[in-house]
Amino acid sequence: MLLLGIETSCDDTATAVVRDGVRVLANVSTNQDEFHAKYGGIVPEIASRRHAALLSAAVDDALTRAGVGLGDVDGIAVTAGPGLIGSLVVGVATAKALAFATGLPLYAVNHLHGHLFAAFLERDEPPAYPFLALLVSGGHSQLVEVRSPTALRVIGKTRDDAAGEAYDKTARLLGLPFPGGPALEALARDGDPRAIAFPRHRPDPGTLDMSFSGLKTSVRYFLESDTGKTARREDVAASFQAAVVDVLIDRVERALDGNHRPLAGDPRPLDGEYRALVLSGGVAANVALQSAFLALGKRRDIPTFVPERRFCTDNAAMIAAAAERRGEASRVNPRTLVADPNLPFV
Ligand code: KG4
Ligand code: ZN
């Protein structure tokens, strides 16, 4: 299928045209950072107004860049949730209007499923099922068992902050500009990851839980106690990053070892028999995490997939990819689709 993708769940106004969930003919994203930076975080009302101002032009832009018209497209895929309600409704209303006007099929996509299927974009050999995905974004950190495009199970998740949220909050402690993840990563590049031994969360036995709020608090205590400002900020950033990466990689290893308790109601626990590893979500853009993840795949001799950077952070190509893979399971009636800020994962 040739799908038009629309993603407006947070602060990126994104559109794309994707063939067969793999070939990206156009991938357009207008970042709103300059409008939110002075507030130190995303202001939902501003995000939604920017989407309303930009989305129609972004749809035209994606079609023009792809060299196609709406008449050539086989369907429209849109993020229905989770996310900011004011942002989601702009994308959903636009997609519904286009589907109505053209009679094209409409596909509603969970934003997190989009992140998972970003790993298929521009790949000649996609990940084989079942695969294990580490999904790390600003709002979520979870390990997902993907047995098929429509059989997904969350087998581990954070008990508190998401990994991206921990980056953003720690960046703020270090006085870095918003968005914090990329800024902290840049600072960490000149630091020593072994300079400060920040704590690594250990899961309760039999679980794959993670936690990042204790780590963020340790960084705060460390900075408060360093009254003479003797510690290098680069070392603090690098040591924080090393702790985040260690925890994430440790949880993937535990999942591969299959030594966690099966989930209630799971008829046939997989016990680590995965055929591929997939990294996804905004934090997957982090080079330190990418290297550790690829090294783990090599150590365990399992094909490992890290999406291109432009497909890690929020984009619309991944929304089209998920709609393509899930097919009829994502098909919705344009009359009844409503955006859901708390859309459940499965
Ligand atoms: O997936 P995403 O674009 O939006 C959500 O769905 O949340 O993820 C955004 C998150 C933010 O917390 C951002 O700081 C983080 O991903 N992030 C990074 C990097 N790039 C984005 N974190 C660490 N290193 C990066 N290079
Ligand atoms: Zn996202």
Instruction: Give the model confidence (pLDDT) of 192-232 as tens digits.
Output: 999 999 999 999 999 999 999 999 999 999 999 999 999 99
Mean pLDDT of 324-336: 97
Q: Answer yes or no: is pLDDT of 51 > 90.
A: yes
In 3-state terms, what secondary structure has residue 178? coil
Mean pLDDT in residue range 234-248: 98
Ligand nearest to the CA of 140: 1
Looking at ligand 1, which atom is closest to the CA of residue 185?
Answer: 24
In the structure, what pLDDT confidence band is assigned to residue 38 with cuts at 50, 70 and 90? Answer: confident
Q: Residue 164 Cα, ligand 1 centroid: separation in angstroms?
A: 5
- Asked whether residue 276 carries a pLDDT value surpassing 80, the answer given is yes
Return the pLDDT at 75. Answer: 98
- Per 3-state DSSP, the chain is made up of helix, strand and coil in percentages (nearest 5) of 45, 20, 35
Do 185 and 171 form a contact (C-beta atoms < 8 A)?
no
Ligand 1: centre distance to CA 100 (Å): 34
Dist. CA 222 → ligand 2 center (Å): 30
Q: What order of strands is seen across the sheet that includes strand 151-157? A: 151-157, 141-148, 131-136, 276-280, 304-305
Q: In what order do the strands lie in the sheet with 331-332?
A: 23-31, 12-19, 2-7, 75-81, 106-110, 331-332
Ligand 1 site residues (CB inside 6 A) read 10, 137-139, 164-165, 167-168, 179-182, 185, 281-283, 285-286, 313-314
At 261, is the pLDDT very low, low, confident or very high (cuts 50, 70, 90)?
confident
Residues less than 5 Å from ion ligand 2, measured at CB:
137, 314
pLDDT value for 323: 98
Backbone angles phi, psi at 280, to 5 degrees: -155, 165
Give the whole-angstrom CA distance, residue 63 versus residue 215.
44
DSSP 327: G
Tokens of 188: 């960490």
What residue spans of the chain are helical by DSSP H? 33-36, 44-66, 85-102, 111-117, 163-173, 180-188, 213-225, 233-257, 287-299, 309-312, 317-326
- Each residue of 109-140: pLDDT tens digit? 999 999 999 999 999 999 999 999 999 999 99
Averaged pLDDT of the chain = 96
Strands 23-31 and 276-280: unpaired
Mean pLDDT of 20-29: 98
CA of 111 to the centre of ligand 2 (A): 6
What's the mean pLDDT in 43-54?
A: 96
Distance separating alpha carbons of residues 14 and 318, to the nearest angstrom = 10
Give the Å distance between the CA of 169 and the centre of ligand 2: 17
> Which of 137, 184, 289 has most ligand 1 atoms within 8 Å of CB, for mutation?
137
Q: What percent of the chain has pLDDT over 70?
A: 100
Give nearest CA residue, ligand 1 atom 22: 181
What's the whole-model pTM score?
0.96
SS3 172: helix
Give yes or no for a cis peptide into 82 (omega within 30° of 0).
Answer: yes
